Amino acid sequence: MTLLCVPIPVHAIDEVPSLLTRCAQAAERGANIVEWRIDELFAQPFDSEGEYEAALDAIAQLIRDSVLPSLVTARTLQEGGRCELDADALFHLLSEIASLQTPPRFVDVEFALVEKLARIPTVREGGASLLFSAHDFQGPPAHLARLYARMASDDRCAIAKIAWRARSVRDCHDVFELLALRAKPSILLCMGDEGLATRVLAPKFGAFLTFASEGDGLESAPGQPTINTLKERYRFDAISRATKVYAVIGFPIAHSKSPAFHNARFAEAGHDGVLLPLLVRSDWESFKATLAMLLDDASLSFRGASVTLPHKEHLVRFVQERGGVVDDMTARLGASNTLVVRADGSLFATNTDRIAACSVLADAFAAPLRGKRIAVFGAGGVARAIAGGLAVEGARVVVVNRTHEKAVELARELSTALGVQIAAMRESEFDCNAAQCERFDGFVNATPVGMEGGSDPDGFVLPDAAHLESDTVVFDTVYAPRDTPLLKFARSRGARTVDGYAMFVKQAELQSRLWLESL
């Protein structure tokens, strides 16, 4: 069983009652062990011996009265903490804590100090066990495997811990590989958003414990999820070696509702699977290397992915290069949002965006799409799927993009691939006050403009000169926030609006069905 450890910082000795209450609340939410982070107590010299003894008494009370087993950590400045005691003074402190009458279950000892001093804190018989730790906030430690081997081979080390800042999702593979070869109970994890998989999948790979914060804003390290997030969104307690792994891949990805949606669907279906958000840089090489790592690591049991911007076109290329199947319409569109890894390991890619977008627009018009004149803003994977899908349904599609040449190129490619006529238009041509201007029935934003966490969260794509009427439909594929700047603007002009959540739900339901049917 992988334990769930909640870090609670100790800033002052008079906080002890409130800290014990917080610990009890964390236990009620599912924490199994508490890490008392005592850095702050020793962030500056004490004025007297009495102050030092008072601090030690406060630590003893926390350990004695805690409803959870305790891990005590005094992290130094060199490894991301606040403790300013020199090495000898720190080891003396840890020796006293480890040998208390009621000792903690574990005391954290930085391995760099163990090697520097060629000794460990003194622990009386029956005292705390020692957890050797190493941290790197820049990236993987040099000679990672050797570092772990030195820690794990030391008989004085009960638990070996290494944590580092992930440079990419691919760093997670090193964690899984080391855990598979572990020589003793180990804590191995990557910090940062790219390292989330190592925290969520800790039970799958047999980590001794993983860390989770009490709540948002209370993280002790970058990328640390909350107890509730691990327990509820990712069903941490249900994860085992047999759990199938899925992902939503994009850049950015923090806004995605896919993990909450799909993990709930898996629970409803009784499927032993978990879907994780993976932040993958926008270039082809990053996408290719990450997806290859997920597929090639048999221990992951990777079974599928939801792929969002900017990787929808990358997925088509990847599956084709790996000898998989891309359905005919998706291949012609040149963009896919869904990867299915079949039971025999073969790959299948399709696009549920197209079906979902056409469906919500038809519902909004309360009429067939045939003959409707619709402007689609964007030239990426989402725009490809929607513009192509609408055109196949008989709509008169016009592609608009800030870089007009990209709109022209997309319109030409889709027209050729689908055998339909798709036009391109400049934003400057939207002055529809002229009598000869043919007005649009609908507008679709298929760009990240207006998305929280994106490069332009306050913007919207619709030119001010665009003509809107009460029967004009404005559809924004962005769903975070649900009420985007574009939709607010459209409503102020009297138009009908459709938010991106409706499309998200429809396309996600189709994805979930495909994954479950492939088992």
Compute the half-sphere exposure of residue 72: CA atoms within 13 Å on the CB side of its CA.
30
* CATH code, 366: 3.40.50.720
Residue with tokens 């029967």: 471
* Whether residue 415 sits in one domain with residue 396: yes
Q: What is the reported pLDDT for 431?
A: 61
Residue where a domain stops, chosen among 188, 209, 241: 241
* Whether residue 365 sits in one domain with residue 285: no
The tokens for 380 are 């990426």
In eight-state DSSP terms, residue 76 is B
* Whether residue 300 sits in one domain with residue 403: no
* CATH code, 341: 3.40.50.10860
List, edge to edge, every strand of the sheet that includes 3-9: 186-191, 159-165, 129-136, 106-110, 70-73, 33-37, 3-9, 209-211
* Whether residue 363 sits in one domain with residue 267: no
What proportion of the chain, given as a percentage, has pLDDT over 70?
99
* Whether residue 406 sits in one domain with residue 287: no
What proportion of the chain, given as a percentage, has pLDDT over 90?
92
Beta bridge partners of 376: 399, 444
CB contact at 8 A, 460 and 489: yes
* Whether residue 282 sits in one domain with residue 255: yes
* Whether residue 437 sits in one domain with residue 320: no
Query: What span, in angstroms and rounded, lies between the C-alpha atoms of 95 and 37?
Result: 16
* CATH code, 223: 3.20.20.70
Q: What is the reported pLDDT for 398?
A: 96
Q: Taking residues 509-515, what's their average pLDDT?
A: 98
Q: What are phi and psi of 153, to 5 degrees?
A: -80, -10
User: Which long-range contacts does 481-489 make (Cβ < 8 Å, 24+ apart)?
Assistant: 481/452, 484/445, 484/450, 484/451, 484/460, 485/450, 485/458, 485/459, 485/460, 486/445, 486/449, 486/450, 486/460, 486/461, 486/462, 489/460, 489/462
Closest C-alpha among 510, 518, 509 to residue 244: 518
User: Which long-range contacts does 145-154 make (Cβ < 8 Å, 24+ apart)?
Assistant: 145/178, 147/111, 148/178, 148/186, 148/188, 149/183, 150/111, 150/115, 151/111, 152/182, 152/183, 152/184, 152/186, 153/183, 154/114
Query: Which comes out higher in pLDDT, residue 435 or 499?
Result: 499
Residue with tokens 């709930």: 264
With 80 as the cut, is the pLDDT of residue 321 above it?
Answer: yes
* Whether residue 426 sits in one domain with residue 438: yes
With 60 as the cut, is the pLDDT of residue 39 above it?
Answer: yes
CB contact at 8 A, 147 and 174: no
CB contact at 8 A, 407 and 424: yes
Query: What span, in angstroms and rounded, lies between the C-alpha atoms of 31 and 29?
Result: 6
- Phi-psi label, residue 318: left if phi above 0, alpha if psi -120 to 50, beta otherwise: alpha
With 90 as the cut, is the pLDDT of residue 44 above it?
Answer: no
* Whether residue 439 sits in one domain with residue 368: yes
The alpha-helical segments, DSSP class H, found in 393-499 are 404-418, 485-492
Q: What is the reported pLDDT for 48?
A: 77
With 90 as the cut, is the pLDDT of residue 495 above it?
Answer: yes
With 90 as the cut, is the pLDDT of residue 204 above it?
Answer: yes
Burial class (CB in 10 A: 0-12, 13-18, 19+), 285: exposed
Maximum pairwise Cα distance, the chain:
93
**Per-residue pLDDT reduced to its tens digit, 54-108:** 999 999 999 999 999 999 999 999 899 999 999 999 999 999 999 999 999 999 9
Would you call 372 a catalytic residue per the annotation? no
* Whether residue 218 sits in one domain with residue 343: no
The tokens for 181 are 């070869």
Query: Which comes out higher in pLDDT, residue 80 or 263?
Result: 263
Closest C-alpha among 291, 323, 340, 353 to residue 479: 353
Q: Domain count of the chain?
A: 3
With 60 as the cut, is the pLDDT of residue 434 above it?
Answer: no
Cα distances (Å, whole numbers) of residue 494 to 450, 468, 482, 497, 499: 20, 7, 18, 9, 15
Residue span of the structural domain in which 386 resides: 354-500
Query: What span, in angstroms and rounded, lies between the C-alpha atoms of 20 and 92?
Result: 25
Mean pLDDT, the chain, rounded, equals: 95
Q: What is the reported pLDDT for 115?
A: 96
Q: What is the reported pLDDT for 88?
A: 94
With 90 as the cut, is the pLDDT of residue 237 above it?
Answer: yes
Instruction: Tell me the three state secondary structure of residue 113.
Output: helix
- What is the distance between the terminal CA atoms of the chain, rounded to a whole angstrom? 27
Q: Taking residues 237-250, what's their average pLDDT?
A: 98
Query: What span, in angstroms and rounded, lies between the C-alpha atoms of 503 and 479?
Result: 9
Asked which of 293-302, 335-344, 420-429 is least confident by mean pLDDT, the reply is: 420-429
Query: What span, in angstroms and rounded, lies between the C-alpha atoms of 489 and 456?
Result: 16
Beta strands in 224-352 (DSSP E): 244-250, 273-279, 302-307, 325-326, 338-341, 347-350
Dihedral over Cα of 149, 153, 157, 158: its sign: positive
Query: What span, in angstroms and rounded, lies between the C-alpha atoms of 27 and 68?
Result: 7
**Per-residue pLDDT reduced to its tens digit, 447-489:** 999 998 888 999 999 888 788 999 999 999 999 999 999 999 9
CB contact at 8 A, 197 and 176: no
With 50 as the cut, is the pLDDT of residue 435 above it?
Answer: no
* Whether residue 464 sits in one domain with residue 369: yes
Collect all residues with Cβ–Cβ distance below 8 Å to 450 and sequence separation of at least 6.
Answer: 456, 457, 458, 459, 460, 461, 476, 478, 484, 485, 486
With 70 as the cut, is the pLDDT of residue 437 above it?
Answer: no
**Per-residue pLDDT reduced to its tens digit, 122-139:** 999 999 999 999 999 999
CB contact at 8 A, 258 and 274: no
Q: What are phi and psi of 168, to 5 degrees?
A: -155, 170
CB contact at 8 A, 66 and 102: no
The whole-angstrom distance between residue 393's C-alpha and the CA centroid of its chain comes to: 35
The tokens for 292 are 């290859």
Among 231, 312, 372, 506, which one carries the catalytic annotation? Answer: 312
The tokens for 40 are 């702050």
Q: Taking residues 377-397, what's their average pLDDT?
A: 96
Residue type, 226: T
* Whether residue 46 sits in one domain with residue 145: yes
